[in-house]
Amino acid sequence: MKMFRKGLKGVVAVETKVASVDGEKGRLTYRGYDVGELTKTLTFEEAAFLLWYGELPTDREVKKCIQKIKDNRALSPLQWEVLQALPRDMSLMDVIRTLISLEGDQTYSGPPTVEQAIKLTAVIPTIIAHRTRLLANKDVVHPELQLSHVENYLYMLTGKKPLIAHVQALETYMILTMEHGMNASTFAARVTASTESDIVSSIVTAIGTMKGPLHGGAPTGVIALLEELKVSNDRKKTIKHKILSGEKLMGFGHRVYKTVDPRAEALKEKLLSMQVEDSWLHFAIEVEKEVVTILAELKPDRKLYTNVEFYATAIMRALSMDPTLFTPTFTAARMVGWTAHILEQAEDNVIFRPQSTYVGSEK
């Protein structure tokens, strides 16, 4: 008999050494290391090295990795030409997908390599920052080789050297969202990679999947929720009405986690440690307490808690980042996880070919 699971829920399609997501215990590990602990000790580059190579780097190894990232930040002449020619109403995710496609030359033929993964990871922030400044009719800010990956991203967006607290907050978010098991975009990337297509094609597949509002677009929904609650005369009444009417509360609940999302907890801890007064942050914390309490009261069997998108929104707002940058920034972080999975798929490849059950009529 063929077993059918809608959305492949609960079906194991891959054995992986990249990461583990334990939804029952609320635990996420990269290569066996608890991700909450990693954010306290590792930089973005060190965490990326761990996912790509499978082990923590030595000082010498991480310096080489950092240098390779810095060397690959600039757009190619063709990418720069196309970027300027793209329609202004084209979404940022579509722009990223298009410019990454232009990477697909002969240097990406053959089996995927870590060097290719580094190059793709390095160029994403530049694409995002250059497009953002062009749309704002500002001069583009070229990559600064003396800055770290995350620090350089913020610098290219604003033209100013960012505050250390802001760099640390965004770096925490980007490490936490680098990888998350067999999510939709990672699975899509591995499916493409399983055909022995090139790494650029696999990444373009992932970017197209990330663009969907049920995956990478969730933080935008959190903003809409918080803004509505901010002007509500009775927050608790509004929250209860939404829950009882069956409306989905963006930023709460997760398909995998049946307890607290460990990434949300790590982000919340980082935000609370930032020595800055941020009214938006304090409001988000108040809303979290109210929603979790009401959810426990009205839906005691659902186990719905804050997910990573909720505090990701607080991070972005604290950094004064436009909502259009949320999913692209998520993409810049997840590039590491996608490429780590593509590399792993190539090590022991079997093409994905699930079956389907015909439910139409017989003629």
**Catalytic site positions:** 254, 309
Q: For residues 207 and 96, give the distance between their C-alpha atoms in angstroms, rounded to a whole number.
A: 8
Beta carbons of 92 and 324 less than 8 angstroms apart: yes
Phi then psi dihedrals of residue 189, to 5 deg: -65, -40
Q: Please list the residues that pair with 29 across neighbouring strands.
A: 20, 34
Ranges of H-type helices in the chain: 35-41, 44-53, 59-71, 77-85, 92-101, 114-135, 149-158, 164-176, 184-194, 199-210, 218-230, 235-244, 262-273, 279-298, 308-318, 326-347
Beta carbons of 196 and 317 less than 8 angstroms apart: no
Q: For residues 8 and 5, give the distance between their C-alpha atoms in angstroms, rounded to a whole number.
A: 5
Retrieve residue 16's tokens: 């992986």
Q: For residues 320 and 123, give the distance between their C-alpha atoms in angstroms, rounded to a whole number.
A: 22
**DSSP H or E stretch at residue 22:** strand 19-22
Q: For residues 244 and 295, give the distance between their C-alpha atoms in angstroms, rounded to a whole number.
A: 10
Q: For residues 315 and 301, give the distance between their C-alpha atoms in angstroms, rounded to a whole number.
A: 30
Q: Find, among 279, 267, 298, 277, the residue nearest to 230 by Cα.
A: 279
